Structure formats: C-alpha cells, structure tokens
Structure 1
Amino acid sequence: MRHSLLAFAFLLLCLSCKHEPDPISDPDPGPPPIVTNSTNVAVKWGLLTLQTMYRLGGNSPTYGSRSLGYAGLTMYECVVNGSPTHRSLAGQLVGLTNLPVPEAGKTYQYELALNAGQAVILKRMFDFGYNDAVRMNRIDSLERAINQQFAATVDPAVMDRSVAYGKAVAEAIFAWSKTDGGFEGFKRNFDNTYVFPRGSGFWVPPASGQAQVFTTAPLHPHWGQNRTFALANSTLSVPSMTPYSTSRSSDYYKEFAAVYQKNGSLSQEERNIAGWWADDPTETFSPPGHSYSLAGIVAVTANADLYQTAETYARVGMAVADAFINCWKAKYTYHCERPGTYIRANIDANWNSFWPEPPFPAFYSGHSVQSGATAMVLEALYGPSFRFTDTSHWGRPSDQARRVSYVSRSFTSFWSTAEEAAQSRFWGGIHTNQDNVVGLAEGKKIGTNINALTWRK
C-alpha cells in the first residue's frame, strides 16, 4: 500500500501535458505520461529536465551531468534571495564571482523567477540544433502554463520583474558555464584523434556495446580536465588501482574472475537490479538523470518546500557533475580495461557481459561515484534514514531479451541506493568490485565537498 501511494504521489513527477511522439529517438515515443498532484514549481521543472534528456541523441552521461549541475544551480539561485535562511553560492563556486540580485525594496514572485530561469537554462543546455522541436515546445509549454497560473493573482509589474530576474540569473550562469571546458560537449562526444595506450591491461573499444556506431573512439577523453563546481573537488587526487597481472593468485586476476563467476549465476532479482540502474542514455535519461530523478522523488516524499527542493536539485546536480569530472580524470589516467577484454584473454574466450559495455575505460565506476555523491548530499539534507520508493523507470516495458523487469525499488537509506547502483555494474559484468568500491569512496568525498559549501546564512 505504501509503495502504491508513493508511486502515485511521485510517479516520476510528470507534467499534466499531453504526451507527444518524440521524433528524435525513432520507435520509442518517449517517457510514459505520468501525472503528479505536486504543485511545487521546482518539481515540475525537475521532471521536464528528465523528459528533455530522455533518449536525447548526443546527450552522454558526461555532458548530461554537466547540464544538470547548471540546471540545479540555476533553480537554486533564482529563488535563494526569497529565502530568509538560504545563501547564494556566488563567490563560492570556481569562477562564479557574482550573479544578478533583486532590486532593493521591490517585490518578487520567486516561483515565476524559477520558471523563467529554468526555461532559459534548459534551452541553452539541450538545444542541440537538430530535430529538437518537440523538446523545445515542451519547455515553452510548461513556462507558459506556470505563467498563466500566476497571472490572475500576481501584479503585472511584479510578474514582469520576476520573469526578467529569473532570465538574467540563468543567462549569467550560462555565460559562466561556457568557460568550464565542457561547453557544447555534445558536438564532440567521441574523439577519433585521441591516442590511447595499447597493450596488456589497457582498454579496448568494445566490438558491440551501448554506442555501437562509435566503437573505435572513446567518450570525452579530456572531460577530466574540466572545471568543477566546488574548488575542493578539483584538488582531489586520482586514487590508485590494483596493478595488472595475469597470475591466478594476483588480486587483479581475482577481481575479474569474480565478475566471470557471478555473471554465470545471476538471479532474477540481480538481473532486474542490473537493468534498473543501467540507464543507457540511448534508452533512458542517463545515469546522472537517474540521480536527478531521485532528487525529485525525495523532495516530494519529504514534502519539501520550494527552497529545499531547489537546494536538493542544486546539490545533486553539482555533485554528479563534479563526480563525472573526477571519474573521467581517473579513467583516462589508467585507461583500464573492461572485464570482457581481460576475461576473454585469460579466462574464457567466448564470454560476454550480461550488460553491453560503454565506450570508455573502466576504472573507476561512474555509476558508483555519482551515486555515492548523490547519497551524501541527500543524506545531509534529509538524514541518513529515509524511506522512499524509486519510481524512475515506472511503466517501462520489460526487456525480453535479457529477461529484465523494471519494478520500482524501495529503500530505507540513501547510501543503500548508492551501494545497489554500484553493485548493479558488477552484476552487469562491466565493472569489477574494485571499480565500485573506489567509486563509492570517491563519491563520498565529492558529495561532502558540495555539502561543505555555505548554503545557510
């Protein structure tokens, strides 16, 4: 009964708009049309962000995480000056010295400012310039609907002032975003000129995987050089990994042998978990999108107000953005092979992983680090023990080929979601336990650094 109520209350926080076919992703019409009773404007924009990212061609986990960092920050900064307790992050983030502020003595409706700011930042981040009419129309429709909702009760001058303020904040944040190293990263996802090392232990592009068209080029090999949101996250050292070895008694061999052994005996529950957290961006709203989805689910479950909801999206968005930067720095330091390469060379020449390999090196796990970072920021906001149901893939049809069913999952803590997300990559056969353990540990550091920003007066 509790599961049903939570699923109905959130049900992915969908807008009440009519669902239209998505021309970008061919046979799939897009995310299921799910309805929420939530009146929280921040929640509605969080959901539309996920709809915008859903199966968006070119929206890699790296670029998507960056976009969520700026979307969440924009949401927060558009409302923060209306809160008696919250503090702006201007002057605290790397290179963000100042932002527009409200006129002294003037009245503002901050929900309208958020509404305007989100419309601007989503268009700036996700207008890829091809077949995007449906996505851009959804943004316009929500912005218009919320403006109309307030028009009857808000003084026209206050409304105009609030809208102008939200747009100014968004444009300022977007201008700052253009200097981070990832601007328009969707135009250069796969670098065919990148020369990665060859030899034993090094990553080899998969013969087939999540991005089969681009099997000869790695995803965003220079992403680790991008600017982080929190300065402390830019100074984290790259963690060490187990040295390469083919000796059966070595720790390296045992890591990959464990993947091989487990993939031959997956239970139905383990299959379902591997599928639930897989979040291939060609099929869903991507792994960082799943974390942003959890932010909304938790805010609705906790009945958070406008300001805490905006803060939730901001913390999660920036945490996953910094997580992917640090993770990619490690991936392209070691260029570590995936289990499939090692297992086929040293254990079983005919082996294939349960889940398709992504087009980038293994160590350490992106799922693990961004899930760990997300868990840390949510725990700081809502406490270590928190009951909620993850309905992120509610309504998704079963994967008949892999015998995977997408059934909503319930948790009693945020860290348990991070651990499950990490473990799912081991069960998927595309990460070793080492990748996941290190990823979770690094995620803790990254999330802690986001929490250490001064969010309160």
Structure 2
Amino acid sequence: MKIKIFLLGVMVLFFTSCKKEKAIVVTTNDYCSAVDTITGIMVHDIFSPPVASRIYVYPNIAAYEIIAQNSTKYESLQGQLNGLDSIPALDAKSGVNQKLAALIAHMEVSKQLIFSEQALEKYRDSLYQKWSDENQKEFDVSKEYALKVVDRIKVWMSKDNYKQTRTFPKFSVYTDQPGRWQPTPPAYMDAIEPHWGEIRTLVMDSASQFKPVAPYPFSTDKNSSFYKEAKETYDTGNMISEKLIEVEKAKSELIPEESAIANFWDCNPYATVTQGHMMFAKKKNTPDAHWINIAKIALKKSNSDFETAIFTNTITSIGIFESFISCWDGKFSTNVIRPETYINLYIDENWRPQLQTPPFPEYTSGHSVVSSCSSVILTSIFGDNFSYVDDSEIPFGLPKRSFKSFKQAAAEASISRLYGGIHYRAAIENGVVQGTNLGAYINSKIKFFKSK
C-alpha cells in the first residue's frame, strides 16, 4: 500500500513538473482581442475621441517597450517620446516571457484609464487563470516584470497635463459675436475637451507645429468664400435628401452612396436619440476606434506576428493621439461656427444635416486629420495598394465597405463630413494636409527599427 502511495506521489510530481515546463503561448489574436475589449469598454463608457486616443496610446507604448527590451529588431522609444525614460531593464536570463509581459502590461495600463474596470478585470482574470494553470512560474515572473513597466508608464502618463485639464474652466461661448461656434441641437452640449491642445505631445515640438492655414474669414456676404462654402454644404445635404426621398418612393433598400459614406464614417459617440421626453446616447465608435480596427484587419490579412501587431498598434495610436492634439489646438483657436448653425441663421432655418453635429468647433475636420495621418502610417507598414474589407461598423448595424488602399479610405472618411453636413470643404481639405504632414513627420521622426 505504501509503495502504491509513493508511486502515485511520484506520478503527480512528474505530471505537475511537465505541466510547469509548458511555455505560455501568446498570439497576435490575443493582443488584438485585448485591444477589442478596451474598444468595447470605451464605447460603453462613451469616451470622447480625444480621450479615447489617450486610452489607446499608453497601453500600446507599455507593451511595445517590453518587446523592445533586448530586441535585435526594435528600438526603445525612451528618449524619442517626450518625457519617456527609465523603463526597467530586462535581464535576458530572468525567464520572462516578453510577449506575455507585454499583454499583461497592456491590460494593466488600460485599467488605469477606463471607467468600467470590472469589465476589464473579468476579461483579464480569465486570462490570468489560464496562464497560471499553464505555467505558474513563467506567469509570475512575467507579470512581475510587466508591473514594473506599468508603474513607470503610470508615472510618465500622469505628467501629460490630463489631470490638470480636468479642472480648467469650460469653454466660454459668446453668442453675440457672429462666426463663433455655438452648441448645436439636439443636446446643445458644451464643447468637448477645449483644452486638449494643452496635453503634452509625444512627438511634435508643440500642438501648433502642424497648424493649418487660416480658415476663410466669417462673412454673410453671398459673394464671400465663407458663404459659398456654407452654401455648398447646404446644397450637398439637400441633394442627398432628395435622393433619399426617391429611394423611399421606389421602396428600394439601396441608399445613396453619399449617405452610406456619411453613415459609415460618422464615428460620433455623442450622437443622441430623442424619444418623447427622453434623450439617450447611441453607442458608436470614435474615429480612433475605427482606425485601430482597420489596423487589426490589416494585421490579420497579412498574417503578422505578435511583435508586428504591437508595433503597428503603437505607431498608429501615436499618430491618432498627436492628430487630436494638433486638430483640437486649431479648433479652439479658430473657433469656427458649424454649418448647421450658420445655415439655420443665414440660409434656411429648417435645414438639418444628415449626421448630428459633434459638440466642438468646426475647423479643421478631426476625422480628416486622424484618417489622413493613420493612412500614411499604415501605408508605410503594409504598402500603397493594400486592399481590405472594413467591417468596423457591423456592431453598429452598418454593412462592410471595401477599399483598395488606406489612402482611399482616408479620402472617403474626409469627404464624408461634407456629405454628413457637419463640415465645410476647407476644413476637410486642410485637415487632410494637416494629417498627411503629421503622419509623414511621425514616420520620419521616430526610429522604431534598429540599423542592420
């Protein structure tokens, strides 16, 4: 009997030892799934597009810094991004699984930036249990190192002026000054993130480094450039409305292409629905989330490895983060009136845009800046003619759209703002220039790869 017990004990130790020797495997899909989880939480929590860009960028940088440790391919971003230094060094003999540590760091930094922490904890804890079961020692040492990096990233991101801007005064609206932005229907919300231009940049020298040309001077003169631009937005909206009426008469399920484009790129998390005396928000992606998902689509189509997934998410999120700082600095310094307000005051008081007007000034178009910057960055990774099918809006009831390149998608995202009736053409075209120049600057400024 004693011999049987002894042999049973030996077998248990043997199989336990074998279990611990199994390496924990972390894949590209695992990383993309973690990013998707954060996106879902952000949609639920209704973060503004600028704040969403902050939630994406810091976790990606934390993950990237871990895979860059002792890498023969990737350079650390220490000393390249403003204020980033002192990332804990990794002992090559420590037994740390860098992919695992990178994913842990991504989740733990994300947890610091969202509201619905329990939703992320539930997702994270299920993974922690799985990894612990696979290899407790490897999990423990990898987590220990990841948390050291997380602590350093937390200190760094705490100095980006975000907390300070939470206490700054609201944007002052002077309705007696023509041409200035005013809150728009149906919610008439205060301006969102009026001080975002004061957030610390990561790559740019300052928020105004890529300042666009000045908008047209405000005017109600029918011969002025400003009036002509407003009239174009008005006429475009009416043209689309007429097409929609014809479609309804024909009882067709096909909507006009301009309307489909406007809806696909709406990306307004502050869109609201009014039912009787109730008003509630519609759950939607932000521009950030849309382009982060496009990056995921490209990674999966190209069968990219784990390190490439982190690199792609990191540089894309840096571009998006810088885009919002650059764009918002211009929006609140020019403070241009939205088409809906101008048209209702000076052209047609009953006119409404197809899309709800977002709650911040008009110039330049945020989606134009973000999309153009993102397209330049993704093109530098995957090439000029990278075709793909964009399914980003399926969760929000919209069909897929196909694109021959990232630049084509960015151009469509930009013109969607005219079709939606929420921007003038100058804000779109100058926003494209702004984002394109910013994307090229980021590609040239940051050294991600080591010299061969």
Interval containing the TM-score (normalised by the shorter chain): 0.7 to 0.9
Report matched runs for 1:71-86 at 5 Å.
71-81=59-69, 83-86=71-74
Indicate the residue corresponding to 2:216 in structure 1: 242
Q: Is the 8 A contact 1:87 1:454 kept in 2?
A: yes
Q: Is the 8 A contact 1:73 1:314 kept in 2?
A: yes
Choose which of 229, 249, 265 in structure 1 pairs with 2:202: 229
Choose which of 116, 125, 139 in structure 2 pairs with 1:144: 125
Shift of 1:179: 1.2
Q: Please give the per-residue CA displacement for 1:394-443, whole angstroms capped at 9, x wherever unaligned.
A: 1433xxxxxxxx11111111111111111111111000111111111111
Indicate the residue corresponding to 1:202 in structure 2: 180
Q: Is the 8 A contact 2:390 2:400 kept in 1?
A: yes
Indicate the residue corresponding to 1:110 in structure 2: 98
The alignment partner of 1:88 has SS state of: coil
Q: Please give the per-residue CA displacement for 1:122-142, whole angstroms capped at 9, x wherever unaligned.
A: 110103xxxx3xxx3442333
Shift of 1:326: 0.8
Would you say 1:253 and 2:246 are equivalent positions?
Answer: no
Choose which of 30, 44, 47 in structure 2 pairs with 1:41: 30
Distance in 2 separating the partners of 1:100 and 1:118: 16
Distance in 2 separating the partners of 1:114 and 1:234: 30
The alignment partner of 1:422 has SS state of: helix
Shift of 1:271: 1.3
Length, aligned pairs only: 396
Q: Is the 8 A contact 2:62 2:105 kept in 1?
A: yes
Q: Is the 8 A contact 2:175 2:182 kept in 1?
A: no
The alignment partner of 1:183 has SS state of: helix
Shift of 1:178: 1.2
Indicate the residue corresponding to 2:288 in structure 1: 288
Distance in 2 separating the partners of 1:367 and 1:274: 12
Indicate the residue corresponding to 2:40 in structure 1: 51
**2:215 partner letter:** M
Distance in 2 separating the partners of 1:259 and 1:279: 19
The alignment partner of 1:410 has SS state of: strand
Indicate the residue corresponding to 2:239 in structure 1: 265
Indicate the residue corresponding to 1:29 in structure 2: none
Identity of aligned residues (%): 29
Q: TM-score, normalised by structure 2?
A: 0.82
Poorly superposed stretches of 4+, deviation over 3 Å: 144-154, 190-198, 231-235
The alignment partner of 2:402 has SS state of: strand
Distance in 1 separating the partners of 2:175 and 2:333: 10
**1:44 partner letter:** S
Choose which of 182, 187, 192 in structure 2 pairs with 1:219: 192
Q: Please give the per-residue CA displacement for 1:357-410, whole angstroms capped at 9, x wherever unaligned.
A: 11110000111101111111101111111011111111433xxxxxxxx11111
Distance in 2 separating the partners of 1:229 and 1:39: 26
**1:67 partner letter:** I
Distance in 2 separating the partners of 1:450 and 1:139: 31
Shift of 1:39: 5.5
Choose 237-246 or 83-92, whichever is displaced more. Answer: 237-246
Q: Closer, same or farther in 2 for the Cα pair 1:184/1:116, shift >3 Å?
A: farther
Instruction: Could you tell me which runs of 5 or more consecutive residues in structure 2 were left unpaired when the two chains were aligned.
Output: 1-26, 244-255, 271-282
Q: TM-score, normalised by structure 1?
A: 0.81
Would you say 1:414 and 2:399 are equivalent positions?
Answer: no
Report matched runs for 1:59-138 at 5 Å.
59-81=47-69, 83-127=71-115, 132=116, 136-138=117-119
Q: Is the 8 A contact 1:377 1:448 kept in 2?
A: yes
Indicate the residue corresponding to 1:374 in structure 2: 374
Q: Closer, same or farther in 2 for the Cα pair 1:99/1:76, shift >3 Å?
A: same
Would you say 1:157 and 2:150 are equivalent positions?
Answer: no
Q: Is the 8 A contact 2:173 2:182 kept in 1?
A: no
Q: Closer, same or farther in 2 for the Cα pair 1:112/1:369, shift >3 Å?
A: same
Q: Is the 8 A contact 1:191 1:219 kept in 2?
A: no
Q: Please give the per-residue CA displacement for 1:36-73, whole angstroms capped at 9, x wherever unaligned.
A: xx75322111211211111314x111111121121221
Q: Is the 8 A contact 2:284 2:396 kept in 1?
A: no
Q: Is the 8 A contact 1:374 1:447 kept in 2?
A: yes
Q: Please give the per-residue CA displacement for 1:78-131, whole angstroms capped at 9, x wherever unaligned.
A: 32226420111011111112211212432321221022112211110103xxxx
Q: Closer, same or farther in 2 for the Cα pair 1:257/1:303, shift >3 Å?
A: same
Q: Please give the per-residue CA displacement for 1:281-334, whole angstroms capped at 9, x wherever unaligned.
A: 142232211111112111111111111110111111111111111111101111
Indicate the residue corresponding to 1:332 in structure 2: 332
Would you say 1:432 and 2:430 are equivalent positions?
Answer: no
Indicate the residue corresponding to 1:31 in structure 2: none
Distance in 2 separating the partners of 1:75 and 1:390: 26
Shift of 1:148: 4.4
Q: Is the 8 A contact 2:75 2:449 kept in 1?
A: yes
The alignment partner of 1:389 has SS state of: strand
The alignment partner of 1:247 has SS state of: coil
Distance in 2 separating the partners of 1:184 and 1:335: 22
Distance in 2 separating the partners of 1:216 and 1:455: 41
Q: Is the 8 A contact 2:170 2:194 kept in 1?
A: no
Instruction: Could you tell me which runs of 5 or more consecutive residues in structure 1 were left unpaired when the two chains were aligned.
Output: 1-37, 398-405
The alignment partner of 1:385 has SS state of: coil
Distance in 2 separating the partners of 1:233 and 1:418: 25
Q: Which has more radius of gyration? A: 2
Q: Please give the per-residue CA displacement for 1:339-367, whole angstroms capped at 9, x wherever unaligned.
A: 01221222212211111111110000111
RMSD in angstroms over aligned alpha carbons?
Answer: 2.1
Shift of 1:220: 1.4
Distance in 2 separating the partners of 1:309 and 1:224: 29
